[in-house]
Structure formats: structure tokens, C-alpha cells
Chains A and B, each alone.
Chain A
Amino acid sequence: MQNRPDLGAPASFTFPKPQRITVGGGTIVALDVPGQQLASLRLVHPFGGAVEPLDAMGVSALTSEALEDGPGGNSSLAPALERHGAEWIARVNWDGFITGLDAPTNRLGEAVHLFADAVRNPALNPDDVVRRREQLLERFWLDASSASTLAMRSLGGQLFTGRYATPLAGGPVKLADISPETVARFHADSIASVAGTLVVVGDLANVDLEELGRIVFGDAAPAPERPVTEHAPPPGDLPRVLIVDRPGSVQSALVIAHRAPSRSQVDLPRAEGIGEILGGMFTSRLNMELRERLGYTYGAGSRFDLRRDSGVFFMSTQVEAGTTAHSVTSSLEQVNKLRDQGVTEDELSTVRESNTVGLPVAYSTARAMAGALVDMVVHDLPDDNVDRIRAGYEKLTAEDLNSAAVEYLRPEEAVVVVVGDADSLREPLAKTGVGPVEVRSPESLWS
């Protein structure tokens, strides 16, 4: 065998500077990637789930689905795009309503006309909207038959009151109240008449961006300021344990979560850095303990879900049923150990290096670059955001991470959600002494 080679010096990486063009009421943010034949278009409207009124929870998700019925109605959009080799993208998150297209650059022109028409002039036939709504309602339980999905969906009501307490798509009950008229009103007020911001990434050599903007924005108005929303916690002791009963489960899905600051409030390199050390990588503490030492799971991890006006930190895993209680205490021990003893020099350098020299890997596709630009648009971040964050990681110290562990990891405020067989889990989980244990059936979680 050859000896282990020395790592050479990494090349410096700078995130390419996007072009910004104002066309009518909208803005285009574009990146030219020569040779990238598949272009990604993303139109961002600043209306996600967080700003939905409480009597219309799920309206953005349902509208997003209903757009797929197209200007002709009856699910005609996707087939029309498919003929151009284009893929319709529609995604709603808490902070944005995102539509888009992935298409070969040589067929972009034809596809964009269809796209613009689909966003601005959908038929929104009441029959179609009702069909989509019923499908979404049924899909809620189909998806939630997977233990990990059910655990994640159970979380909102444990950490928040208000909009965040109900799943993004309105959950299995509230969504039923959304009428076709509500969808039409939301679409007219928040999507059709609002230009939005268009992200374009791909080989743009033969793409006329101004023309693209005229087609997509038309005469729509600039986006209004977003309202700030409040999300108070629900009552109840912390920490506590909620078992969502799934009889006969051979594994338990665990989510240990607590509230976190919003995207603009956190010091990102410190927060995400400590999150990575705990559970963001294969070699992170949770995975090394629960998987590589104890053999309880196929994988364990943690991450922040940072929104414009709030945030969540969670650890998640699926473990062999008999190891559930020990998996909970082991996870919490890992957090406490990190808070008490801090990070190692090795962990510090891993976080620093992976988030600096690793950037070319993170941005090696048009989709990934489009994702970074969408993130900038949704969170009002500057064009050089990726480079600023990198600079933050470059100067990170062990002390920065140790203080972040205490500031951002709050096991004393955690809710432990366990989806599994309640009969066999209740006693061992109570014995852990983590906190009071409540058992609920999935059906009782949303009303």
C-alpha cells in the first residue's frame, strides 16, 4: 500500500454572484452555470403557512396542489409540461409559497409560457379543488402510517399554539373546512396579483432574462411587507413525554424537540455548528452512540428548523422497540455532556472545515444553487450570504461552540415524542424520570 497522501491546499471558493434584474413588479435573481443543461426556475411568493389565518389553515398547501390542475382544469398542467420534458415544482413551507420548473434549457421558452399561465390564470374549478382536498385529507393518514412521519407531525402541537400547532397542510381536520372559494380568494390576493421573485439557475447563454420576467410577472404588483406572527408555547410541564400509540410496532420513532430562536435571531455558524456536532453528520455524537456503539438504530441525527419568526431544534431516530427508554436517556445524556464538557478540538476543526472547504460539493448542482438563492429570497439575505456564513465558520472557536451548546440546546425545555407500542413503552419511559408521560392515539391529536 501507498502511504496516506497529504491533503493539498484547498482552492478558495466563492459563491457566484447572482444577477439581479427588476422587471415590472418583480425581481429576477439569476445564476449562469455554463454546461448545466437542466435549468431550475423558482418563483417565490412570501406567503407560507405561518401567515395563514387560523380559519384557513392549509389554504396555501391546497392552493399549491390545485395549481396542478392548470388553466384548463382537470389535472391538465403536468401532462402539458411533461410533453416539454419539464417538471412542475410546487412547494409550500412555513415562510414561502414556491412554484417552479425544472426544464432542459433548449425547451425553456415553451415551458415558461405554460408555467406563467399556470401560476397566474389557473382554472381552480370547484370540483377539482374538492377532489384535491379530499386526496390531501386521505393522504395525511396514509403518510402518517409511517412512524417517523407521525412523530414529526405530532410535534407542532407540543411546542406551539396558533398556526404552528397544526401541520402545514392543515392536518386531517382543519383542511376539510377550506372551500374552493377560500382557495380562489387566496390565489387572487396573494399569488396571481403579486409578482414575486424569480430564481433562475442553469446554462443561460441563450436565455433572455428580461423576456422571461415579462412572461412570468406580467403586470402583477410588487410583494407587500410580510406581517410578523406570534407563536406562544402551549401549557404543560417541561420536559415531558408524549407516547403516540402505534400498537405492535417493532421499532419506536423518537423525536426530542424544543423551541429555538428564529433564522434571523440565531448566530448561524454557532448554532448549526453545535447541531452538526451533536447530530448533523454520520460521525456526530448521537449516531456514533446510538448506531455505531449501541446498535439500536439504522441512524440518529439532529437539526434546526429555522423559520422567519421562530424555530425548532430536534433530535430524531427510529430504534428497536425494546431499547426505546434507553435511547431517550442516552440521547439526552449526549446533549448534557456536550453542554457540560464542550466540544473537542477535532470536532471544532471538522465543523470549520466541512463548512468552508466543502462548499464546492454543497453547490455542485443547479438545484442546490437554486435552493441557496430561494433561501436568500425567503429570509431577505444578502447576495453574498453563502460567503458571509463561510467567513463565520472560518473564525469559529471552541468557546463559540461551547456557549452555543448552552444557549441553543435546551433539554430542560424538551418534549419527547415517541411513536410506538404504548402498552410496552409507558412503564419504561415513566421510569426514566424524564418527565410526565402522556399516551394519545393519533386520531386524538388533531381536532
Chain B
Amino acid sequence: MGTAGRVEQYTLDNGLRLVTAPASTGQVASVNLWYGVGSRHEVTGRTGFAHLFEHLMFQGSGNVTKGEHFDVVERLGGDINASTSTDRTNYYETVPTHALDTVLWLEADRLATLREGMTQEVLDNQRDVVKNERRQRYDNQPYGTALERILRLAYPEGHPYHHSTIGSMADLDAADLDYVKSFHKAHYGPDNCVLTIVSDLESEDVLARVEKFFGGIPAREDLPETPDPTLRAPLGGPVRDAVTETVPAAGVFIGFRVPSYGERGHDAAQLAAAVLGQGQGSRLYRSLVVDRPIAADDGGGSADILPFRYTDSLLLVNMLAREGVEGDVLEQAIREEVAKLANGVTDEELDRARAVLERDHLHSIASPSGLADTIGSCTQLLGDPELAFTWPERWADITAEEVRAAAANLLGEDNMLVVRFDPEPETAAETLQAEAEADAAAQAQQA
């Protein structure tokens, strides 16, 4: 890649890590802050808090009014948003280059003075917004609670990855203003942040600007305790959660614990997932969508890894049944395909898997904001920004035998969790009523 080797790293006296890299298109600056705080830092009774907090970061700080942060960036035609995961919270903006200082100032202001801008009113409002986010993404979506169910099976009660990032309605209700302020104090310091800037400015120039706006913000005095993510026992599978509710077709979600993000074993598992379910040349697509065909066409995206840095990641397989296909039939077929992987993969399959993963990686760094995000990730989680450019090399020397061994070791039933959704059985009366309505509508349209 043309930009590899042109990444610069600096650490300010207050611990803030800055990474700079050149953009492949001109006149823009992408700013991306990865704070090392996520839902893994939440304690029982406070789930969903890291994410609720992310919302509050847009609600005003010492020198910025509610909504002003969005307003300033949108006025510049910029992109702006944030996201929260188990392992980190990130905030990002892409703006025309002349606005870089303004964005740095906005970010510095909420890092240094958010607590001064926080009120009960904005907390109440954003709590309602987040509850509606939960409804929209989880409760009012078919299969929407799958991830929560998967995490509950994968990690034991009390483990920091046992709960989802969105949290529970009850815990969201319990959030109070004092806790908001203490959370900011505990986790939001320059020493817990990687700031990545992708632009066409010289890196020394960028450093000077960052020093100016962030240099005076003190590091945290007291570091919070991080809940222990150690897994003390194997999964003890197969473990299972079966749900019957209003879904359009049976849905099968199968998960396996695999090594954490950054380990070589994780990369081998990722190749296994790609052989299994990434792209239309993948085994699950060929076998269950094209050949048999009993699974709904998902375009070739039935297996992937949910990457976690500080505990075991999860390899997840998900397919929906075709009309008239029982959930049991689909589940059995998927499990058979997964099990076959332990018999070995061909070099041709592995080459295809590498090419698909490399293509996706290139996509992820093709935009300035995507590149900044990937660099932030590689720096915050693995301490090496160059990995953003060289990541595909990690897959290059993993052999077919390593992928086979990973499958044999990790994808067995003792390490398996299954979440199954099945539609409620339709009563005869409902069937008749639906048919009558359809008939009536057809007649009305003909008339």
C-alpha cells in the first residue's frame, strides 16, 4: 500500500496517543478517538451505561451547548457519529481540512469539561432515545434479541461479556446524574485515548495542533477497576436457548468460543469462518443455499467472528430456513457442515477465503474515516498502527492444516452454543382469516 510506512506515532505528556496518516483523497481530515472503555467495564445493575454515556457526549460540555457539536460538523458537510462495543467507545468526524482545529477543540472540550454541561433533563431525554434504539434494533426486530441470548450462553453470569452493549431497560432506568459524572471521571482521560488523524497535512503540523488543544488536559488520577474477563471453565456445550415467537422463518444461530482478537489462533478461526460462510463460494452457501436448498439466500454472509480483545471471541454462524423447512432440519445441516471442516480444507478454498477477507479489509480502509478507525483499533487494542495496512499478511502464512486444526479444536459440540428461533405455530383460524382477507383485497382491486 502506498501509505504504509508513512504512519507517525506520538505520545503526549498526559498519555494521549496520537497517530497520523495520509489520506488518499485531498482536502479532508478524519478524526477518530478510541477510548478504552466499553460495556466490559459495566457492573451488574449498570448494563448499557457505556453506550448511554456515548449519547451524552453529544449533549453539551463546558463551552458547547446541547446539539452544537452535531450542528458545527453538519454545517461543514462533515460526517459525524460514535459507537460503543464491549471493548471501546469511539467518536469520529470527517471534515474539510480547514475545520480540523474546530473539531479538535470540540473533542477536547467534551473530554475536559463534559461534567459541567450535564443536566438531569438531557439524561432523561437520552435515556428515552436509547430505549427507543433498543426497541428499534432488538425488541421490535425479528431475531433482534439473538445477540443478547448468544452472549448469555457464551459467557457465565457475572462475566463482563455476559451482557450486551445496549443493556436492559431496567438498568437504563436506574442511571442517575452522579453516576454519569463519575463514569466520565473514571474512564475519560487523555491517557485512555488513541487519537488518529488521517489528512493531507504534515504530521508535525498535526502534532502541534493536538498539543495545543489536548496538551493541557490532565491524565486521570485514579484508574478504575476493570472487571476480570478470565474464563475459568470451558463452555461445556452444547448449550441451548430455544425461543418461539413471531418470526417469519426458523432462525439458527450457532456460536463457538475462539481465541481473542490479535492472537494467531483468532486469525486461523477467521479463515475457517470465511471458508465456511463468507462469500458465495463458501461451503454453507454452496451446500445449503444453492445445492439443497434449505436456507434463505443471504448473499454469502452466514459465518463471521465477533472479535473481543480481552476474552475469547465468538465464531458465529447464522442462517434462516426456507419456507416449509423445519428449524431442526436446517440446524442439523449446518452442524454437519461445520463438523466437516475438521476433515480439512483445500488450498483453493483457503486462497478464496484469504482473497475475500483481504477485499473486505481493503474496503474498510478505502475511505479516510475507515482508515482512521482501523488505525485507532490496531493502536488501541494491539499497540501497532501499521497493522491497519499489513493485516492481510497475517492470513498469508496460515496453512490449510492450521485451519483444519482450529476447526477440529474449536468447532466441536463441547464448545458449541445454539440459539434457535421458531415461528409460533399458526392456528387454523388465523390461516383462514388471512386467506379471506387476501381474497377480499384481490376482489376489491379487480373491481
Contacts and interface: CB of A to CB of B under 8 A. Distances in A.
Contacts of B362: 37-38, 85, 104
A142 B359 contact: no
Interface stretch (A112-120, A265-273, A287-295, A375-383): A287-295
Interface residues of B, number: 92
B54 interface: no
A36 B24 contact: yes
B279 A146 contact: no
A5 B132 contact: no
Interface in A215-274: 247-251
B351 to A, nearest CB: 6
B409 interface: no
A82 interface: yes
Interface in A129-149: 131-132, 135, 138-139, 141-142, 144-147
Interface in B280-308: 280-281, 285-286, 289-290, 293, 296-297, 300
A91 interface: no
A350 B438 contact: no
B76 A145 contact: no
B434 A142 contact: no
Interface stretch (A56-64, A355-363, A406-414): A355-363
A7 B139 CA distance: 43
A356 B98 CA distance: 13
A2 interface: yes
B171 interface: no
Interface string B127-151: 1111111011101111000000000
Interface string A317-361: 011100000000000000000000000000001100111111111
Nearest to A354: B77
A144 to B, nearest CB: 8
Contacts of B78: 358, 361
A330 to B, nearest CB: 15
A218 to B, nearest CB: 25
B328 interface: no
Given A291-B129, A296-B132, A364-B23, A36 B366 contact: yes
Given A135-B296, A441-B434, A447 B441 contact: yes
B322 to A, nearest CB: 6
B140 A147 contact: yes
B129 A298 contact: yes
Given A9-B98, A291-B129, A292-B67, A364 B279 contact: no
B425 interface: no
Contacts of A104: 359, 362
Interface in A59-80: 68, 74-75, 77-80
Contacts of B67: 283, 288, 292
B105 A248 contact: no
Given A5-B101, A13-B27, A295-B129, A85 B355 contact: yes
Contacts of B43: none
Contacts of B141: 146
A282 B355 contact: no
B326 interface: no
A40 B314 CA distance: 33
A359 B293 CA distance: 46
B296 A139 contact: yes
A135 B297 contact: yes
A102 interface: yes
Given A85-B358, A363-B25, A444-B438, A283 B71 contact: yes
A-B pairs, top 9 by smallest CB distance, nearest first, are: A358-B77, A79-B281, A295-B128, A78-B280, A444-B441, A360-B27, A354-B77, A298-B133, A5-B101
Interface of A: 1-2, 4-5, 7-11, 13, 33-38, 68, 74-75, 77-80, 82-87, 102-104, 131-132, 135, 138-139, 141-142, 144-147, 247-251, 281-283, 288, 291-293, 295-298, 318-320, 349-350, 353-367, 440-441, 443-445, 447
9 contacts: A5-B102, A84-B355, A85-B362, A295-B124, A296-B132, A320-B131, A358-B78, A362-B77, A365-B366
Interface of B: 1-3, 23-28, 62-63, 66-67, 70-71, 74-80, 94-99, 101-102, 105, 108-109, 112-113, 124-133, 135-137, 139-142, 212-213, 216, 246-249, 279-281, 285-286, 289-290, 293, 296-297, 300, 320, 322-323, 351-352, 355-356, 358-359, 362-363, 366-369, 434, 437-438, 440-442, 445
